[in-house]
Amino acid sequence: MSETSARIEMLSPEAARQAAAEAGVPGQAADLSIFRVLLNQPALARWIADLLFGLLFRGSLDTRLRELVILRLGWATGSVYEWTQHWRIATRLGIPAADLLAVRDWQTSTQLSEADRAVLAATDETLETGAISRDTWARCRRHVGGDAELLELVAAIGTWRLVSSVLRSLEVPLEEGVEPWPPDGRAPATG
């Protein structure tokens, strides 16, 4: 996908960095295709950046669980960008590739912990019905943490579902030179 294929034109890297600085969006975001599109509306880019960067760098939800949720959302919604970017983040965090690949068919995987399975069930239920069931909530409470972590779990599911919709609706391309769907190139049937 080329940079010109987004439904809303991506700002040049220079223009994106300038817009990010003026809007208070972290500088590293300006190089990402999603923000090169979002920075066409600087206030919106700032609001989304605040939420994403807060959950990524200042949250209390376990980073492994957060990344499994994001990868599941990317897979289940067919968001090439979301899956690919968070594959890179998760592997840098030291999460084994086998665990990341397991989110594709987590219900039959023997690779995942009870905490992993609880947050993945919560993710799928939210995608399917818009909410987490009582049984899954109880599993998350047992395996994920207290109120702060559970609030962040719900926020992470909702936030990255929003991001998936933005990415797919605007047809945001991957950054130049980034290969999609690592490591085996397999894409979801919904993609």
Q: Which amino acid is at 36?
A: R
Q: What is the pLDDT of residues 6-35, one digit of tens each?
A: 899 999 999 999 999 999 999 999 999 999
User: What are the distances in angstroms from CA 132 to CA 88, 92, 110, 120, 163?
Assistant: 28, 29, 23, 11, 19
All structural domains of the chain with their residue ranges: 11-57, 63-170
C-alpha pair distances (Å), 186 with each of 8, 53, 56, 115, 119: 28, 28, 26, 26, 23
Residues 191, 58: contact at Cβ < 8 Å? no
Nearest partner of 174 among 21, 37, 48, 68, judged by Cα = 37
CB count, 10 Å around CB of 23?
A: 20
Token match 């990255």: residue? 160
Q: Position of tokens 């979002």? A: 38
Give residue 44's Cα distance to chain centre. 18
DSSP 32: S
Q: Quick check: 3 pLDDT over 60?
A: no
pTM of the model: 0.93
Which tens digit of pLDDT belongs to each residue from 33-78? 999 999 999 999 999 999 999 999 999 999 999 999 999 999 999 9
pLDDT of residue 125: 98
The pLDDT tens digits of the residues spanning 67-97 come to 999 999 999 999 999 999 999 999 999 999 9
Task: Classify domain 63-170 by CATH number.
Answer: 1.20.1290.10
Cα separation, 12 vs 148, whole angstroms: 38
> What does pLDDT average to over the chain?
93
**183 SS3 class:** coil
